[in-house]
Amino acid sequence: MAVSAAALLGIIGLLCGASVVAGEGEGDKWAVLVAGSSGFWNYRHQADVCHAHQILKAAGFPDDRVIVMRYDDVAQNALNPMPGVVVNRAGCLPTERDASTGEWDVREGCNVEVGCGRDYYGAAVSPESFINVLRGDVSAQRLFCEKINSDPTRFGGCEPKVLNSTARDRVFVAFFDHGGTHMLGFPAAWKYGAMRYVTAKDLRVAMEHMRSVDLYGELVLYIEACESGSMFNDILPQNVSAFAVTAADPFHSSYASDCGLRLGGVTMPCLGDLFSVNWMRDVTRPGHMKYETLEEDFDIVEEQTNLSQVCGYGDESMGSEQISSYLEYPTKPAGPRRAALRRHSSPRSGAAVPSLEAADAFLAASAIPELREELLARKRLREVAEANLAELAAVLDVPQARGLHDIHDKSICHKKPDPSFADGAAGDDFFDCLRSTIDRFQDVCGILTAEDLTRSSSVFSRLCAARTAAQIDRAMGTVCAPASV
């Protein structure tokens, strides 16, 4: 029996381990880039997201295949000594001023603000927007954007730009922000408002929906956040063609990089995040985008991110694919690999500090009265929230967390918290309790800053693992007076 050329090519593809998105030409590619914080002291997250967009644009990605969420309050911030300029690493800080203009002379290619998108900005950088984007839910997002765009009391806006991918496409998601046990943070809708967040259940359900309606063939997520491993540990299955890389294990902080540097007489906030700067530096080295696999990138970045444990979850078989399969548009033929890729050292200037300490360190180093007031306001909020949370845990007799100190033991990526939430319906009850408890706490016990949500998230998780939502709610009614600022 005769075999057609198309059928023969299909057979060859199967024998050669062709990707799920291969076949009659390569599937399309999409990217979702999110900076989930606000404030000049969180400079690094928007620097990260714009750097990532710069990399994708240089690799050929058209704007209609990249969705960018960022608050956009850094480049033109009154505190920025380089108006209109955002840099992501110490080597890009200028040392001289332009003789004719007096402005800082920023080296070409260093200003990641140039060409950086903002499909969602201000209050539109929200959990609702993020989940709607992933779900490809243009109707829900259109309604949300109309609400944001028509509210004159809020800064921000958006277009209902969502994933319109198919079962043959590759989707890359990069998230840069604060996080905590089983959650990723988003900016408050207004100053000193309640912190907004996405839980591990929210993300899992969104990914399940993406899979069920064929919104991806393969999905890769890079998550920069404290305790980011807890978003996937024992949660992300290995059979859904998704692979997640996290900046930290489920129990420890990630690290900000290039902190405490001065430009003229001004102290800059941290310019980047250690894990994210490392993976972006790696994929832009000569030959790495073209020849390096996801697994090789993981190994290099894990080695260089030496202050937190980088973790991987999900479908490990995807590690054999080239980075260019996700970050280059379209993927260009690589040709034979002639030599091993060189592992470069990771040059650093300035300090690397735990992410949850970076904002306070920047504010404390400033002599600007407004920033000193911001630091005091944050400390007042923290004192109220911490005291109430400690009393709440004591009233409910919730056990302390198990000590996990060996950060560079890879097994920590898959250790379970103690007490631990259960799978299935009991697991859903846990996450429902987590959301209702945090929301109720911020209503009656104290507002949480992004960093304080990180600090307290493990306590909230232990509360919900050991007690019911109803028990916790009754205890809060006893412990907490209405919160005030």
Active site residues: 178, 226
Distance CA 270, CA 43 (A): 7
Contacts with 36 (C-beta within 8 Å, 6 or more apart), sequence order = 45, 69, 125, 130, 175, 176, 177, 178, 184, 185, 186, 187
Angle subtended by helix axes 127-135 and 138-149, to nearest 10: 150
Q: In 111-199, which ranges are continuous DSSP H helix?
A: 127-135, 138-149
CB 360 within 8 A of CB 375: yes
CB 435 within 8 A of CB 473: no
For residue 339, give the DSSP letter.
S
Distance CA 31, CA 44 (A): 20
- 95 beta partners: none
- 264 dihedral zone (left: phi>0; alpha: psi -120 to 50; beta): left
- 183 beta partners: 180, 199
For residue 136, give the DSSP letter.
T
- In angstroms, the Cα distances linking 218 to 20, 241, 331 are 7, 5, 15
Q: Which of 110, 135, 144, 126 is nearest to 36 (CA)?
A: 126
